[in-house]
Amino acid sequence: MEFWESSFIEKQTMWGFEPTDSAILAKDFFLERNVKDILVPGIGYGRNAKVFIDNGIKVTGIEISKTAIDLGRKNGLDISIFHGSVTDMPFDNKLYEGIFCHALIHLLNNRDRDKFIKNCYNQLKPNGYMIFTTVSKKAPMFGKGKQLDKDYFEIMEGVKMFFYDSDSIKQDFGKFGLIEFSEIDEPNKNMKNKPPINFIIVKCKKEI
């Protein structure tokens, strides 16, 4: 998560080290389809990487924050991580069997979202899968702050978010092998007093 896990150094571990429920579901999905080599854009300090690694899946990351990368290293994250923004993808010519991206795409503007999805799709092997989780219009932050565009708000200074619904999911992912999407309420496992946030899990497949 480029913003949430990377912007404030003093809050680097505010989300804890437990994987999100979405990452656990993605791990099960990948294992069922024998996906063993994935790219994780916006890997942060790696809280969602371990669940894949522990189940025999090779993980390569992308992360904009050097501090987050260093923190991950200190906590045993011994994998290849490209230091840079997902908007500058691709960082290599490798094709991956899967891609998992949690809570990042809604932080991009319309042009960058389209470019990011396209770049991820282009780095998939034939029959590869990509899974995105993105905040939905049912999230409590929707409509807060300054509206910049349709469903796009600056919810606080420097934090811009696009909120998805079924129509915008189909519009953004429809031409990139969209196979299904579903809602999930993600609890904040490190801050029990915070209400869960409604996300949408989006799954795509690169057909031969």
Q: Would you say residue 121 lies in a domain?
A: yes
pLDDT at 16 > cutoff 70: no
Least confident of 23-32, 95-104, 149-158: 149-158
Query: What percent of the chain clears pLDDT 90, i.e. is strictly above it?
Result: 82
Does 194 reside within a domain? yes
Report residue 187's pLDDT band, with 50, 70 and 90 as the boundaries: confident
pLDDT score for 17: 74
- 22-47 mean pLDDT: 96
Per-residue pLDDT, 5: 39
pLDDT band at 6 (very low <50, low <70, confident <90, very high): very low
Is residue 1, in this structure, part of any structural domain at all?
no
The answer to the question of residue 181 being in a domain is yes
Asked if residue 3 belongs to a domain, the reply is no
**Which structural domain range is residue 151 located in?**
9-205
**Which pLDDT band, with edges at 50, 70 and 90, does 3 fall under?**
very low
Q: In whole angstroms, what is the distance from residue 51 CA to residue 62 CA? A: 17
Residue 7 has pLDDT above 60, yes or no: no
SS (H, E, C) the chain: CCCCCCCCHHHCCCCCCCCCHHHHHHHHHHHHCCCCEEEEECCCCCCCCHHHHCCCCEEEEEECCHHHHHHHHHCCCCCEEEECCHHHCCCCCCCEEEEEEECCHHHCCHHHHHHHHHHHHHCEEEEEEEEEEEEECCCCCCCCCEEEECCEEEEECCEEEECECHHHHHHHHHHHCEEEEEEEEECCCCCCCCCCEEEEEEEEECCC
Query: What is the average per-residue pLDDT within 174-203?
Result: 86
The arithmetic mean of pLDDT across residues 117-136, rounded, is 97
Tens digits of per-residue pLDDT, 91-115? Answer: 999 999 999 999 999 999 999 999 9
The model carries a pTM of 0.89
CATH number (domain holding residue 84): 3.40.50.150
Q: Is 2 domain-assigned?
A: no
- In a domain? residue 4: no
In the chain, the number of structural domains is: 1
**Closest C-alpha to 106, from 39, 176, 197, 177:** 197
Is the pLDDT at 128 greater than 90? The verdict is yes
